[in-house]
């Protein structure tokens, strides 16, 4: 049994709202408390996921606060597959000019500082790695998707190689690996990185990190030298306390959506919300949340290495599903929609590093959710829309409407306060003409021209 239309609409809107609310609750989780260990403070900044404008603003803001508070040092715990070159350079510029020592810590085990993360690691005053971590593979990637001219690619690679070599010389770390990481996409683990002088040492925990960095002398942004005092060997305890810095709710939301799977699903959910709202008159919660999802999705696509041909295929798949929805059947258009949706998912981030590739499970999930939406939700909603508010004969057959476009042989008719697809067997009906609904074919109305003397004062005129 179908739910009344308003009830079905309200239920779907509440489900949408509950999902968004749950996401905000997770984003609003409280930050970790500072750990006491001394009078001086060491800030710990978490840098995870794709390097994007949100990450860059977050790091710059936290570094500015650390300098204002005159902390002893800033630890940047990093785990990233890379990201935007422009965001990376903003972060490095801030780190090089900071009047507080910056220490990059690649942790925990299993983390990596790939691509842009390698540059950030080299820009820090000191760098340490936990066991089981990796560094390197910093060859520039085209974040616009598609093929890149060979000459432009070579120029970008040489520019990046020169930049990271200068950073290596500035921080007195291995410049040979720095260049190989860019030119040859070389990557190293913790042990080799320590042996080759790529990083300053190994640190599996924050306590290990404080022990390793204690006594190191670094040059900060104003050119002065500063010796780090973070560990007391006599008492085997830290002489500083940690203060953990975290993103605010908006930053966490914007950064969260740069996950490829989330961006892909946001694009679809946003489209579903807009379609549901357009097919059912009135601006409601589904339309608002759909618009929000689309905005977040397109923000993520602007940051990720998006192949826009994939986006066009996803849009084309939705058009195919809409066509099949109008002819009321699971036919060739639905098959075409599924094929276009799968192809769009495969192309969406093609050419990106493996860490940024769309997982097959995300594509399967998208196909299943899309079929459920169009075959179940939208079909049910349109059937309810087609029902008469009273019992008895068909609600539309016999009603009078107005042709809003030329019908030759298909067009649009306004009847019972709603727009419908219409078809005629006549030679053609001009826009503005009165028509009578003779039958329905799925969700398409079969109409004929209405002659003025046939329905004078007809109560079925329900425009």
Angstrom CA distances, 301 to 255, 354, 355, stand at 12, 17, 15
- If you average pLDDT over residues 183-211, what whole number do you get? 95
d(CA 28, CA 21): 10
d(CA 37, CA 220): 24
pTM exceeds 0.85, yes or no: no
Q: What sign does the CA torsion over 14, 16, 22, 25 have?
A: negative
Q: What are the residues whose beta carbons fall under 8 Å from the beta carbon of 63, sequence distance 6 or more?
A: 45, 74, 94, 95, 98, 100, 102
Domain positions in the chain:
33-249, 257-386, 400-449
Q: Determine the pLDDT at residue 38.
A: 59
Selection from 236, 32, 216 nearest residue 124 by Cα: 216
- The β-bridge relationship of strands 231-232 and 237-238 is antiparallel
Each residue's pLDDT tens digit, 35-55: 445 579 999 999 998 888 899
Q: Determine the pLDDT at residue 76.
A: 97
Measured in degrees and rounded to the nearest 5, phi and psi for residue 241 equal -120, 150
Q: Are 284 and 9 in contact (CB under 8 A)?
A: yes
CA 85 to chain centre: 18
Q: Determine the pLDDT at residue 25.
A: 43
Each residue's pLDDT tens digit, 264-283: 999 999 988 888 877 765 55
Q: Are 213 and 73 in contact (CB under 8 A)?
A: yes
Give, in words, the CATH class of 400-449: mainly beta
Angstrom CA distances, 57 to 60, 99, 112, stand at 5, 18, 21
Is 70 exceeded by the pLDDT of residue 62? yes
Task: Please report how the helices 360-371 and 308-327 are oriented relative to each other, as an axis angle in degrees rounded to 10.
Answer: 20
Least confident of 16-30, 107-121, 165-179, 198-212: 16-30
- If you average pLDDT over residues 133-147, what whole number do you get? 72
d(CA 438, CA 326): 18
Buried b (16+ CB within 10 A) or exposed e, 415-445: bbeeebbbbbeeeebeeebbbbbeebeebbb
Q: Specify whether domain 33-249 bears CATH 3.90.226.10.
A: yes
Q: Are 70 and 104 in contact (CB under 8 A)?
A: no
> Which range is most confident: 19-23, 91-95, 452-456?
91-95
**Please, which contacts does 289-295 make with residues 24 or more away whose CB atoms are closer than 8 Å?**
289/13, 289/16, 289/17, 289/20, 292/20, 293/266, 293/267, 293/269, 294/266, 294/267, 294/270, 295/270
Q: Are 279 and 289 in contact (CB under 8 A)?
A: no
Selection from 245, 239, 293 nearest residue 32 by Cα: 245
């Amino acid at each position: 049994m179908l739910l009344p239309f308003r009830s079905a609409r309200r239920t779907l809107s509440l489900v949408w709202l509950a999902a968004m609310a749950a996401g905000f609750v997770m984003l609003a989780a409280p930050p970790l408390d500072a750990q006491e260990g001394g009078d001086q403070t060491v800030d710990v900044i978490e840098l995870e996921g794709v390097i994007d404008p949100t990450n860059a603003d977050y790091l710059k803001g936290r570094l500015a606060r650390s300098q204002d508070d005159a902390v002893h040092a800033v630890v940047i715990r990093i785990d990233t597959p890379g990201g935007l070159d422009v965001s990376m350079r903003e972060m490095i510029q801030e780190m090089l000019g900071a009047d507080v020592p910056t220490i990059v810590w690649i942790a925990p085990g299993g983390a990596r500082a790939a691509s842009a993360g390698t540059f950030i690691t080299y820009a820090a005053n000191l760098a340490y790695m936990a066991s089981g971590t990796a560094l390197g593979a910093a060859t520039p990637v085209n974040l616009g998707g598609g093929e890149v001219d060979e000459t432009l690619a070579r120029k970008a690679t040489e520019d990046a190689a020169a930049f990271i070599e200068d950073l290596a010389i500035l921080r007195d770390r291995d410049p040979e690996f720095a260049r190989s990481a860019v030119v040859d996409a070389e990557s190293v683990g913790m042990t080799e990185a320590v042996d080759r002088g790529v990083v300053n040492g190994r640190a599996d925990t924050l306590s290990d990190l404080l022990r390793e960095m204690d006594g190191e002398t670094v040059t900060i942004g104003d050119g002065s030298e500063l010796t780090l005092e973070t560990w007391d060997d006599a008492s085997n305890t830290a002489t500083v306390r940690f203060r953990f810095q975290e993103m605010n709710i908006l930053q966490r939301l914007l950064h969260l959506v740069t996950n490829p799977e989330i961006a892909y699903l946001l694009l679809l959910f946003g489209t579903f919300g807009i379609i549901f709202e357009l097919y059912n008159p009135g601006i409601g919660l589904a339309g608002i949340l759909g618009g929000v999802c689309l905005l977040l999705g397109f923000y993520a696509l602007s940051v990720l290495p998006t192949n826009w041909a994939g986006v066009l295929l996803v849009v084309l798949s939705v058009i195919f599903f809409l066509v099949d929805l109008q002819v009321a059947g699971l036919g060739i258009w639905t098959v075409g929609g599924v094929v276009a949706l799968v192809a769009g998912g495969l192309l969406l981030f093609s050419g990106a590093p493996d860490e940024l590739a769309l997982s097959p499970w995300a594509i399967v999930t998208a196909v299943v959710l899309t079929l459920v939406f169009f075959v179940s939700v939208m079909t049910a909603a349109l059937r309810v829309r087609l029902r008469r508010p009273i019992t008895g004969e068909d609600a539309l057959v016999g009603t009078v409407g107005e042709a809003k476009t030329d019908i030759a042989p298909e067009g649009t008719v306004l009847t019972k306060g709603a727009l419908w697809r219409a078809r005629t067997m006549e030679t053609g009906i001009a826009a503005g003409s009165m028509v009578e609904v003779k039958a329905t074919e799925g969700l398409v109305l079969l109409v004929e021209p209405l002659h003025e003397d046939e329905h004078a004062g007809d109560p079925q005129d329900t425009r």
